[in-house]
């Protein structure tokens, strides 16, 4: 009988301190997330130094809770996977150094994980991956289309040239005087409004899979500004609905074109903005009745930053022989294509 493979994942790239343990790459045995969002709310965004301080406060507590949830001893673990980057350097450093100390203390292999690879592999906790596949990654820091011909191989076929979609959501929320983090507020508001305001869609050059959201963001700000000057009232819900319609249309159309061109078997949604109800609905409407491509959308808890996704990606990389030395450093600008094994 083959022994179960147990991998611990550690994630501290932004404002969540998270530890999880995954069995055989697919089964969640423990999943603990300590969010700092309440602390950062007062600043209207994540403050790096404060994020780092919270990670130090939380790290062993979260580790202990994950070990208790799993009810295992360290000797039963096969490896420690940790987010190497991208992310906030000071925040990443806490996870990386805790992982190295653990690997050293118990003589366990150390596996470095790319944060976006983690977001993509969250889908493997839902269903087995079928290659080739396409992942639409949408988060506060990333908007990209990633093509995977096999496990552990990532090719970015399109990415944002300026703001990430999540960033645009937060800025629009601020324009509409909504509290941080604004994304979910804009999403909620968009549902009660109508997309009556004409806003641009950035398709870029013919055939490009890249994205751009800064023009759209400026258009929203200008619309509010011009209305104020003319003494007119803009319905915030209509503006939110119009903004959301523009973002989603571009994301879905580009994903649809890439799915056809690359002939993929699956389209995976990944990243924090995957929690967006409007985006989920639009993807389901577009891909729901396409028999040749399977749409996979993880549950909300696996879309936002967590360590289960890091352990899931870490398991695959562990099996493919990827290892880090005790000299592993945080890599805030880690490129996913350089991460390919």
Partner 1 sequence: MTILAIDTSNNALGVALFDEDRVLGEYITNMKKNHSVRIMPAIHTLLKDCDRAPADLTRIVVAKGPGSYTGVRIGVTIAKTLAWALNIPLVGVSSLEILASGVGRYFNGYISPIFDARRGQVYTGLYQYENGSITTVEQDKLVMLADWAEKLKTSIKPILFIGNDLAIHQEAIQTIMGSQAVFAAVTEHNPRPSELAILGKNQPGEDIHSFVPNYIRLAEAEAKWLEAKGQM
Half-sphere exposure of 24 (CA within 13 A, CB side): 6
Residue 18 binding: pick among Zn ion, partner 1, none (C-beta 5-8 Å cut-off by kind): none
Q: Strands of 155-159's sheet, edge to edge?
A: 155-159, 143-148, 133-138, 266-270, 294-296
Collect all residues with Cβ–Cβ distance below 8 Å to 300 and sequence separation of at least 6. Answer: 275
Residue 228 binding: pick among partner 1, Zn ion, none (C-beta 5-8 Å cut-off by kind): none
What is the nearest approach in angstroms of partner 1 to the Cβ of residue 223?
30
Residue 59 binding: pick among partner 1, Zn ion, none (C-beta 5-8 Å cut-off by kind): partner 1
d(CA 327, CA 232): 59
Q: Applying CB under 8 A, which residues contact partner 1?
A: 42-43, 47, 49-50, 52-53, 56-57, 59-61, 63-64, 74, 90, 93-94, 96-98, 100-102, 104-107, 325-330
What is the nearest approach in angstroms of Zn ion to the Cβ of residue 316?
18
d(CA 81, CA 79): 7
**Closest residue to Zn ion, Cβ-based?**
305
Residue 234 binding: pick among partner 1, Zn ion, none (C-beta 5-8 Å cut-off by kind): none
Helix (H) or strand (E) holding 266: strand 266-270
What is the nearest approach in angstroms of partner 1 to the Cβ of residue 7?
16
d(CA 318, CA 341): 11
Alpha carbon of 74 to those of 102, 206, 246, 306: distances in Å?
9, 53, 49, 21
Convert residues 52-81 into a mask of x (bound to Zn ion by CB under 5 A) and - (unbound).
Answer: ------------------------------
In the complex with partner 1, the residue whose CB is nearer, 74 or 131, is 74
In the complex with Zn ion, the residue whose CB is nearer, 6 or 32, is 32
In the complex with Zn ion, the residue whose CB is nearer, 139 or 223, is 139
Residue 305 binding: pick among partner 1, Zn ion, none (C-beta 5-8 Å cut-off by kind): Zn ion
Residue 100 binding: pick among Zn ion, partner 1, none (C-beta 5-8 Å cut-off by kind): partner 1
Half-sphere exposure of 104 (CA within 13 A, CB side): 10
What is the nearest approach in angstroms of Zn ion to the Cβ of residue 232?
38
d(CA 264, CA 284): 17
In the complex with partner 1, the residue whose CB is nearer, 15 or 187, is 15
Angle made by CA atoms 132, 135, 139, in degrees to the nearest 5: 165
d(CA 145, CA 123): 15
Site for Zn ion contains 170 (CB under 5 A): no
In the complex with partner 1, the residue whose CB is nearer, 102 or 275, is 102
Which DSSP string corresponds to 147-205? EESSTT--EEEEEBSS--HHHHHHHHHHHTTPPSS-HHHHHHHHHHS---S-------S
d(CA 315, CA 178): 39
Q: Which of 82, 305, 309, 311 binds Zn ion (CB under 5 A)?
A: 305
Convert residues 93-132 into a mask of x (bound to Zn ion by CB under 5 A) and - (unbound).
Answer: ----------------------------------------
Site for Zn ion contains 11 (CB under 5 A): no
In the complex with partner 1, the residue whose CB is nearer, 61 or 192, is 61
């Amino acid at each position: 009988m083959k022994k179960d493979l147990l991998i611990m994942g550690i994630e501290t790239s932004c404002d969540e301190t998270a530890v999880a343990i995954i069995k055989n790459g697919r089964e969640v045995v423990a999943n603990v997330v300590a969010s700092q969002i309440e602390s950062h709310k007062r600043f209207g965004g994540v403050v790096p130094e404060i994020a780092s301080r919270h990670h130090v406060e939380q790290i062993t507590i979260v580790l202990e809770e994950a070990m208790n949830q799993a009810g295992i001893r360290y000797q039963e673990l096969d490896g420690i996977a940790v987010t190497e980057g991208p992310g906030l350097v000071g925040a990443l450093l806490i996870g990386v150094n805790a992982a190295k100390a653990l690997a050293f203390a118990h003589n366990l292999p150390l596996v470095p994980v790319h944060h976006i690879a983690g977001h993509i592999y969250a889908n493997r906790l839902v269903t087995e991956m079928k290659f080739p596949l396409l992942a639409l990654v949408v988060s506060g820091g990333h908007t990209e289309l990633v093509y995977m011909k096999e496990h552990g191989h990532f090719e970015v076929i399109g990415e944002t040239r300026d703001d990430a979609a999540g960033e645009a959501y937060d800025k629009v929320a601020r324009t509409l005087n909504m509290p941080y983090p604004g994304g979910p507020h804009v999403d909620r508001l968009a549902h009660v409004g109508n997309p009556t305001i004409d806003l641009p869609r950035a398709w870029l050059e013919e055939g490009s899979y890249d994205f751009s959201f800064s023009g759209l963001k400026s258009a929203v700000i200008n619309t509010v500004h011009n209305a104020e000057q003319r003494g007119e009232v803009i319905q915030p819900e209509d503006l939110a609905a119009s903004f959301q319609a523009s973002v989603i249309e571009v994301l879905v159309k580009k994903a649809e074109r890439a799915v056809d061109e690359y002939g993929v078997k699956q389209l995976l949604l990944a990243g924090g903005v995957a929690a967006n109800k409007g985006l989920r609905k639009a993807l389901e409407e577009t891909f729901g009745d396409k028999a040749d491509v399977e749409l996979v959308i993880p549950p909300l808890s696996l879309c936002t930053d967590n360590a289960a996704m890091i352990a899931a990606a870490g398991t695959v990389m562990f099996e493919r022989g990827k290892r880090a030395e005790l000299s592993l450093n945080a890599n805030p600008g880690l490129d996913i294509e350089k991460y390919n094994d």
